Structure 1
């Protein structure tokens, strides 16, 4: 039996946290799931058996920071899964962890390997807590304490850039730099430090997530119209990009999976 729950953060944390999700899966047998880049970093706590990353033939750490991802991965569950995941706003993780988000790209960094006593203590408390609501309270208390050390003055300008990206399919780095009131060189550096990937690669991930969202809400749409609505130059460009991030063409993906956008749904 599987249960999946989305929890919204308190209003004061909403500029930093998109949502929390909790997954419990008591299914018997081996279950494999393909995960795609979401455009957001996350903090993951395993309270049950850990997921196995098939491509690397290794288990995820018990608790870890998941950096920005540039490609798909397949994960396998073989036991009782119980996960609590904090999904950050794209630009907010650096403010919480006090390190360049670019250092975490394509990495699952174990909390045990980070010199952050408070975060390690949180991981132990979440693992030992009796119920999920208490876990969320502990996580939010930790996040509030992180914010007492101050917020990057770049955060509002990056939030505005991300808002523009979310609302526009046709844009460029020059426009982003103007919104952020920075030179293009400064903007690219600040963007990578806070968001964990380059502006160009982030745009590509968001465009792929937009494609999933359109397919999710308009399943009968033709691929030519889909590519136009999502900002690709043409249909072949969309197919090439989609395959890069998902491992299969849109047609192949629809035959195997139900399209769901983790970025635009919440």
Structure 2
């Protein structure tokens, strides 16, 4: 699988978009690929350029095709993906960035991948058609970037809620919710409601995902560290606290995630382009 990050992201988008990248995955020697995408708290927008694959979410019996333009909100269950190839342009939003640009509460999607054409009527159909008309990847990405820039003009301003999310990130998911609500001049209930609207998770869930993501990233970067050492560096009380969080999010212990590489999340490893 090749994932190439677009380096020319417009400065006006950097407040809302983490990256735009191109994913290219072909079949294995047996004619198809299979992978499992783990639960994650991030939001993506995917434009399928040339794909032949199906997905099945945890609890579903059958596989179903993905849409040509798909909104992927935070996912709380594992997703199985199999097919012959994936070629897609994917926008990875910063936390809360999708809501600020498009003004659609994240719970509206009910943690399910959504056809962007249904959410935005004919707007995404026009964008997708423009993408497919372009002869090369750089021009295709430019269409996506221009589309997002038009949304920036009318976007919601930076709010105390974004500041609260930033504090959770900086504290590795260990800032008391009462302190966050007080600093944002909100009640705890109001903070939870607005946080859910913008991020698709409660502050407690968001904090748990931040710790979990930091721990996985640290293990990837420093494989010689034990999970006990990682638990202390990532804000857990101890290793059992880390194991409990991993199992509650993925259904697996951290040791099982390392043993089974097919469990890696398709959106984690990003290869920098040389252009």
Fold conserved between structures, TM > 0.5: yes
SS at match of 2:20: strand
Match in the other structure for 1:35: 37
User: CA offsets, 1:189-208, max 9 Å, x none?
Assistant: 22111112211111111111
Runs of 4+ in 1 over 6 A off after TM superposition: 258-261, 263-266
Instruction: Give the distance between the partners of 1:54 and 1:33, measured in 2 at CA.
Output: 11
Match in the other structure for 1:74: 80
Match in the other structure for 1:159: 162
Match in the other structure for 2:118: 113
1:264 Cα offset (Å): 11
Q: Judging changes above 3 Å, is the alpha-carbon distance between structure 1 residues 71 and 232 closer, same or farther for their aligned structure 2 residues?
A: farther
In structure 2, the gaps of 5 or more residues are: none
User: CA offsets, 1:93-151, max 9 Å, x none?
Assistant: 112222111212411110222243322211222233222211221111111111222x3
Instruction: Give the distance between the partners of 1:103 and 1:261, measured in 2 at CA.
Output: 24
Matched, 1:241 2:240: no
Number of positions where the alignment pairs a residue of Structure 1 with one of Structure 2:
262
Q: Judging changes above 3 Å, is the alpha-carbon distance between structure 1 residues 261 and 166 closer, same or farther for their aligned structure 2 residues?
A: farther
* TM-score (ref. length: structure 1): 0.88
1:263 Cα offset (Å): 7.3
2:129 to 107, 124, 149: 124
Higher relative contact order (CA 8 A, sep 6+): 2
Contact 1:104–1:196 at 8 Å: present in 2 too?
no
* TM-score (ref. length: structure 2): 0.86
- CA RMSD of the aligned region, Å? 2.4
2:100 to 95, 101, 104: 95
Match in the other structure for 1:168: 171
